[in-house]
Amino acid sequence: MTRSVLVTGGNRGIGLAVARAFAAQGDRVAVTHRGSAPAGLLGVKCDVTDADQVDAAFAGAEAAHGPVEVLVSNAGITDDALLLRMPPERFTRVLDTNLTGAYRVVRRAVPGMLRSRRGRIILVSSVSALSGATGQANYAASKAGMVGLARSLARELGSRGITVNVVAPGLVLTDMAGKLSAARRAEMLAAVPLGRHADPEDVAGPIRWLASDEARYITGAVLPVDGGAGMGH
Ligand code: NDP
């Protein structure tokens, strides 16, 4: 059975790999973007910091594909700085995009899922949520907040057939990782037992699986996809 899937930030990086993974199994996939849609996928324009744009994006996806049955909240940013060099706007902008952005899209998705009494919500967090990271107080706080968001919603929505889970990737080679210094990337790599960074497809597979019928009894989970870097969390 094919499903209506919406991936935020699905125009590049991990989100694009996720969107392609769902499309490859025949699902009807829409991706949000702020510029142009990737080839072969339905694009809906959306900045997740704006609730009206979120609403319009869902309306566009639903008009083409029906109510969203699988939501992957993936859009996110970094804006790294040590605490004393991080003024409030740099803290709140990251929180507003990563955490409140996830809240906005989930809130828009849930009524349709409640009506059909089924749904899959997957939030893309980070290994930094659980370990913290120097220079990432804003980012790590936002990603840790997603865990609390997901677990609360898992409790609220479980009896309605909706699961809410978190994926916590380690270092994935995308534009975002490209912003890290070579030294920081090498340091992170040294902490990965599998000895390599992830490709976006390494994250897409577990997300697709969490949305599958096989994962129907999993909710409120945080699935590390980090090559073992966060072992012990
Ligand atoms: P990229 O920087 O490659 O892509 C980020 C995506 O998020 C883009 O599609 C971007 O859209 C979108 N986005 C950013 N801000 C907004 C916004 N305000 N509204 C809508 N869309 C927005 O990053 P990744 O693919 O690496 O990251 C995807 C997710 O995975 C993020 O949540 C990130 O925190 C998380 N992650 C990444 C890791 C990594 O090592 N790369 C590790 C752990 C987690 P646009 O093209 O318009 O800018």
Mean pLDDT of 220-226: 97
pLDDT tens-digit series, residues 76-106: 999 999 999 999 999 999 999 999 999 999 9
Which of 22, 91, 103, 139 is catalytic? The answer is 139
**Measured in angstroms, how far is the CA atom of residue 14 from the centroid of ligand 1?**
7
Q: Where are the domains of the chain?
A: 4-225
* β-pair partners for 76: none
Q: What's this model's pTM, rounded to 2 decimal places?
A: 0.98
The CATH number of the domain covering residues in 4-225: 3.40.50.720
CB atoms within 10 A of CB 209: 14
pLDDT band at 184 (very low <50, low <70, confident <90, very high): confident
For 45, phi then psi, to 5°, come to: -75, 135
Residues near ligand 1 with C-beta < 6 Å?
8-9, 11-15, 32-35, 46-49, 74-77, 97, 124, 126, 169, 171-172, 174-177
What ipTM describes this predicted complex? Answer: 0.99
pLDDT tens-digit series, residues 11-48: 999 999 999 999 999 999 999 999 999 999 999 999 99
For 87, phi then psi, to 5°, come to: -70, 165
The rounded distance, in Å, linking the Cα atoms of 224 and 125 is: 9
What is the pLDDT at residue 62? 98
* Cβ 189 vs Cβ 196: under 8 Å: yes
Closest atom of ligand 1 to CA, residue 139: 34
